[in-house]
């Protein structure tokens, strides 16, 4: 009897030891509770599908060491994604990682529809034009009529070309190559491409979702305009963004050639069919920029939700035209335009734009 009891005790002891050994043996089997299973952490488990926000994915080993860079990160077990992942569709997705044959636990990422932006989406037209350009009256007219009912379209007159014009922007030639401008009239929509002159294009641009808003304040002291442009982000983004700040002048009177006139063989329908149009008023004429024409970079750390990035600026009312002629703008007729563009390319597109008269304050809207 004693011998049987002793054998039973030995048997139980061996089973316990075998069981303990089995649990501590690294197999990589996540269903078996392996201690070698990698851990996945998400910066957020719920994210909006807006093309800007991203989720940061971190992978650690059993010791808590960050091993993200040595792992493959997978979406639904098959699609490789970046550790900073911008969703490409809505739904619930399994996020896992793998290092060699070593698997990870799974975390669920919920991608939901984007909420309404707190900012108004505005659009920008940069009208390459000239007082010498007889067909440019067509674009003037279209933009004036559209803006009368759509004030969120902001237009700039970038005077250019080889003909006589006292308002030529000093660096207008820099526009031509990125946007493939081969003749006039030409207008660039949202720093992306030449506008087709279709109002439906403008309508579509104003329906975009605004990832950020801008505010402008300025004062005029003598011949100098000083102020601040603020950029407030509605997203956490890794996109490269740049801000452009410019000075525009209104009420510049100079005769405008108009080819839509009988003397050029056209049935008159614009500006009474007269050419030149005497006392023609050129408005929103770009005089100079405080930043680079294609923008100054916004630091990546500033592009976080609800953050406000401030850019102080100062510009004199004096400058020179493309031909080197000096001018002095009339401060009471001037305005500040500010816009944020894609920083990855000169024709990468625009995210939002704002305009305010010099001396006035325009808040985020």
- Residue 184 to residues 66, 151, 188, 260, 274: CA-CA distances in angstroms? 57, 25, 12, 15, 20
Q: Does 219 share its domain with 289?
A: yes
DSSP designation for 257: -
The secondary structure of residue 331, as a DSSP letter, is G
Indicate which CATH number applies to the domain containing 217: 2.60.40.10
Angle at CA of residue 12, ends 8 and 14, nearest 5°: 115
Structural domain contains residue 11: no
Is the same domain home to 60 and 151? Answer: no
- Same domain for 191 and 306, yes or no, is yes
The answer to the question of residue 118 being in a domain is no
User: Would 240 be classed as within a structural domain?
Assistant: yes
**Residue 18 within any structural domain of the chain:** no
> Are 159 and 290 members of one domain?
yes
Torsion of CA 72, 78, 83, 89, to 10 degrees: 170
Are the C-beta atoms of residues 300 and 238 closer than 8 Å to each other? yes
pLDDT at residue number 89: 97
Question: Is 17 inside a domain boundary?
Answer: no
CB of 115 closer than 8 Å to CB of 100: no
∠ Cα 34 38 39 (to 5°): 115
Write out pLDDT tens, residues 235-294. Answer: 999 999 999 999 999 999 999 999 999 999 998 889 999 999 999 999 999 999 999 999
Residue 276 preceded by cis peptide, ω within 30: yes
Burial code (b: 16+ CB inside 10 Å, e: under 16) for 75-92 equals beeeeebeeebbbeeeee
Q: Write out the E strands in 168-283.
A: 186-189, 193-194, 212-221, 224-233, 241-249, 252-253, 281-282
Query: What is the per-residue burial (b if ≥16 Cβ within 10 Å, else e) of 96-113?
Result: bbbbeebbbeebebebee
pLDDT (average), residues 343-350 = 97
**Tens digit of pLDDT for each residue in 317-334?**
999 999 999 999 999 999
The lowest-confidence range among 4-18, 211-225, 236-250, 303-317 is 4-18
Kindly report, residue by residue over 90-135, the tens digit of the pLDDT: 999 999 999 999 999 999 999 999 999 999 999 999 999 999 999 9
- 13 part of a folded domain: no
In the numeric block, which tokens belong to residue 338? 């500010």
Residues 109 and 147 in one domain: no
> What integer pLDDT is reported at residue 35 of this predicted model?
59
Reference 131, options 247, 275, 9; nearest CA is 275
Is residue 278 domain-shared with residue 226, that is, in the same domain?
yes
Residue 30: per-residue pLDDT: 40
Question: If you average pLDDT over every residue of the chain, what do you get?
Answer: 91
113, 138, 173 — which closes off a domain?
113
Segments forming the whole domain that contains residue 109: 34-113
The SS3 assignment for 146 reads helix
Average pLDDT over residues 74-103: 96
**Are residues 226 and 168 part of one domain?**
yes
Last residue of some domain: 60, 81, 113? 113
Q: Are residues 148 and 257 in the same domain?
A: yes
**207, 97: one domain:** no
pTM: 0.88
Q: Check whether residue 127 and residue 44 sit in a common domain.
A: no
Domain total for the chain? 2
Share of the chain above pLDDT 70, in %: 90
Whether 8 is covered by a domain: the verdict is no
Query: Considering only CA atoms, which of 336, 311, 147, 120 is closest in space to residue 249?
Result: 336
Phi–psi pair at 2, nearest 5 degrees: -65, -40
184 and 292: one domain? yes
Q: What is the pLDDT of residues 134-192, one digit of tens each?
A: 999 999 999 999 999 999 999 999 999 999 999 999 999 999 999 999 999 999 999 99
How far is residue 128's CA from residue 325's CA, in Å, rounded to a whole number?
A: 19
Tell whether 28 is covered by a domain: no
Q: Are residues 320 and 340 in the same domain?
A: yes
Residue that is last in its domain, among 113, 139, 168: 113
């Amino acid at each position: 009897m004693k011998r049987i009891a002793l054998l039973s005790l030995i048997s139980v002891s061996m089973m316990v030891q075998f069981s303990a050994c089995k649990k501590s043996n690294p197999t990589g089997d996540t269903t078996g509770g392996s201690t070698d299973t990698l851990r996945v952490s998400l910066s957020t488990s719920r994210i909006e599908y807006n093309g800007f926000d991203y989720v940061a994915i971190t992978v650690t080993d059993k010791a808590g060491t960050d091993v993200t860079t040595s792992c493959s990160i997978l979406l639904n077990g098959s699609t490789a994604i970046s550790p900073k992942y911008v969703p490409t569709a809505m739904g619930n997705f399994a996020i896992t990682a793998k290092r060699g044959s070593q698997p990870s636990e799974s975390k669920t990422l919920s991608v939901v529809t984007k909420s309404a932006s707190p900012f108004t989406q505005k659009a920008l037209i940069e009208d390459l034009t000239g007082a010498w350009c007889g067909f440019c009256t067509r674009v003037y007219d279209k933009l004036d009529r559209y803006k009368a009912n759509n004030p969120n379209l902001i237009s700039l007159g970038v005077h250019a070309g080889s003909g006589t014009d006292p308002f030529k922007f000093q660096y207008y030639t820099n526009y031509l190559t990125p946007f493939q401008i081969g003749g006039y009239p030409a207008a660039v929509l949202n720093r992306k491409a030449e506008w087709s002159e279709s109002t439906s294009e403008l309508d579509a641009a104003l329906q975009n979702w605004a990832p950020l808003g801008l505010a402008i304040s300025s004062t005029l002291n003598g011949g100098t305009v000083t102020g601040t442009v603020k950029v407030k982000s509605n997203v956490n983004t890794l996109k490269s963004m740049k801000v452009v700040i410019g000075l525009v002048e209104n009420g510049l009177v100079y005769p405008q050639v108009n080819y839509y006139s009988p003397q050029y063989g056209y049935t008159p329908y614009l500006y009474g069919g007269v050419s030149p149009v005497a006392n023609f008023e050129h408005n929103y004429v770009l005089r100079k920029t405080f930043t680079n024409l294609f923008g100054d970079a916004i630091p990546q750390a500033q592009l976080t939700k609800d953050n406000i990035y401030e850019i102080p600026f100062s510009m004199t009312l004096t400058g020179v035209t493309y031909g080197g002629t000096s001018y002095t703008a009339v401060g009471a007729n001037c305005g500040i335009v500010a816009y944020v563009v894609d920083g990855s390319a000169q024709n990468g597109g625009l995210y939002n734009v704002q305009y305010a008269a010099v001396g006035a304050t325009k808040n985020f809207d």
